[in-house]
Structure 1
C-alpha cells in the first residue's frame, strides 16, 4: 500500500515539475504593425504575440499612434465613429488542435461582438535563397499568397518558434518582418523576451469568447458582405426615390483579407 502511495506521489511530483517547466517556455514578441491606406498617412499599432508549446495569443493595441493629418482609421471614416472599447482584435491559436479563434467587434458589418472560429489556415510558403541581416538576426526570405494578398517575409530560425503575428504560421522560425506587396500592411519585430505564463491570457480570452456571438469564419465573411450589400441597397433606394441614378459600390481590396477560400470577389456595386 505504501509502495503504491509512493509511486502515486512521485507521479504527481513529476507531472507538476513538467507542468512548471512548460509554463516557463513562454516567449513574448512585440511587433509594430504599420497600416497605410494612403502613402502620406502611417498608422502605427503595437501588437503582441505570446507563444507557448500549446497556444499562441495575439492582440492589437488600437491606441492612437498615427502620423499624418488623418487621426482616425479609414474604416472609422467610412462606417462612422465606433466606441474605442469596441475597436479591438485578439486571436488565440490552439497549436495542438490547429484551431484559430478570433474575438473581435464587427465594426464594418453587423456591429456585434463576435468569436470567430476556423481551422488554422495552411500557408504555402515559398522559401527563397536570399538572406538578410535584420535587427541582428540572420533572416531567410519567403513569399506567400494568402486570402487576396501577396506577402514577403523575413524569418530567422535562430529562434525556434514556428508561428508569427496575426494568423501567420508554418515557417521554420520566427517572422522578423513581413509586409504585403501593396504596402498597406507591415509587421516588424521589435522585442523578444521570456514571460511567465499564457494562462491568464487564455482565461480572459475564453471569458470574453463565452459572451460573444459564435460564428465560423465562413459565416462571418458571408454576414459581413451581406451587411455591406444591405447598406448599398438602402443607399440606392434613397437616391432612386429622388429620381437620381447613382452607382453605389464598395471594395474589400484594402481589407486585411480581401478574399478567401469561400469568396474571390472583391468589388461590389449596384
Structure 2
C-alpha cells in the first residue's frame, strides 16, 4: 500500500463541498477515488480458486458508489466517453450506491450482464442493518493506525479495521457506518478480503455512471438471491426454455459441463443466501 501523508489526507476529506445529487442517468461526480484489492476464494473447498480483483469506491459529500475497477472502466468508455476500448471483464457486475441511510444494490441474476435472458434488479437495504461492535484493539496497517470493529452481515462475521482520523464512515462493498474510513475488512474465514491500495483526489471530479443498470426494476434482497441461486443452478434448462440453446447434443453437453465448472468456482458468494 502506498504511504499517504496523514494531514493531507485528512484535509482531503474535510474539503468536501456539497453538491446536488441530480439525475442518476447522467454521470455522477466524485471528489475521491479509493481503490481496494479484493481477494476471494471462489469455491470454499478449493484453495486453487483464490482470485483477486481491484475494486473502486467513489465518494462525494453525501453519497458514494462502489464497483469493480473493470466494470467501471467498461461502463465509463461506453456511457461517458462514448468510445470503444479494450474489453475488460469482471465476475461482479454490481453497482452499490450508498446515500444517507440507504444501500442500493444494482445487480444481475447471472454473472455475464449480456447473457440472453439475464435480468437485472435493484434492492434497498438500511445502513442500520450493519450493527458494528467496536473494540479497543488497534493495528497499524500501511501507516494507518486502525481500530478494530466486527459485524455480522450477509450471514458472515466480518472483522474491520478503520482509521478514526479519516473523517468518513465509508468502506468497500456495502460496508458503512464506522467512525472512520475502513482500511481493511475480511470475513472470519478469510474467504473474502478487502485491503486499501490507494486514495486519490483528482484535479477534476472523478466520473462514474449507474448506466446501464439504473432502470433495473425494484425487488427485495431475499427474492433477488433466491432467483439468482435458481437461475445459476438451472441455467441450461432456462436457456432451452428461451430457445437460445445449442441444437447439437454433444456440444450442448460440453457447454453444460463447462458452465457447471464455472458455477462451482463462483459458488462461495460474499453473501450467503
Q: TM-score range by the shorter chain?
A: 0.5 to 0.7
Q: Give 2:176's match in structure 1, choosing from 152, 169, 193.
A: 169
Structure 1: runs of 5+ lacking an equivalent = 1-19, 64-82, 235-249, 260-270
- Whether 1:127 aligns to 2:134 is yes
Classify the secondary structure of the residue corresponding to 1:169. Answer: coil
Q: Give 1:158's match in structure 2, choosing from 158, 162, 165.
A: 165
Give the TM-score, by structure 2 length: 0.62
Q: Match for residue 31 of structure 1? A: 36
Contact 2:65 2:98 in 1 (8 A): no
| CA distance in structure 1 between the partners assigned to 2:90 and 2:52 by the alignment | 18
Q: Match for residue 106 of structure 1? A: 110
CA drift at 1:209: 2.1
CA drift at 1:231: 6.2
Structure 2: runs of 5+ lacking an equivalent = 1-15, 20-28, 72-86, 239-262
Q: Match for residue 137 of structure 1? A: 144
Q: Give 2:229's match in structure 1, choosing from 225, 232, 245.
A: 225
- Whether 1:46 aligns to 2:50 is no
- Whether 1:118 aligns to 2:124 is yes
Structure 1 stretch displaced more, 24-33 or 106-115 = 106-115
Contact 1:49 1:56 in 2 (8 A): yes
Root mean square deviation, CA, Å: 3.4
| CA distance in structure 1 between the partners assigned to 2:231 and 2:97 by the alignment | 28
| Residues 1:102 and 1:191: Cα distance change in structure 2 (over 3 Å) | same
Give the TM-score, by structure 1 length: 0.63
Q: Aligned pairs, how many?
A: 203
CA drift at 1:110: 8.9
Classify the secondary structure of the residue corresponding to 2:169. Answer: coil
- Whether 1:256 aligns to 2:270 is yes
| CA distance in structure 1 between the partners assigned to 2:70 and 2:201 by the alignment | 24
Q: Give 1:185's match in structure 2, choosing from 192, 212, 217.
A: 192
Contact 1:57 1:90 in 2 (8 A): no
| CA distance in structure 2 between the partners assigned to 1:132 and 1:217 by the alignment | 34
Q: Match for residue 93 of structure 1? A: 97
| CA distance in structure 2 between the partners assigned to 1:144 and 1:106 by the alignment | 28
Greater relative contact order (Cα < 8 A, sep 6+)? 2
| CA distance in structure 2 between the partners assigned to 1:233 and 1:193 by the alignment | 46
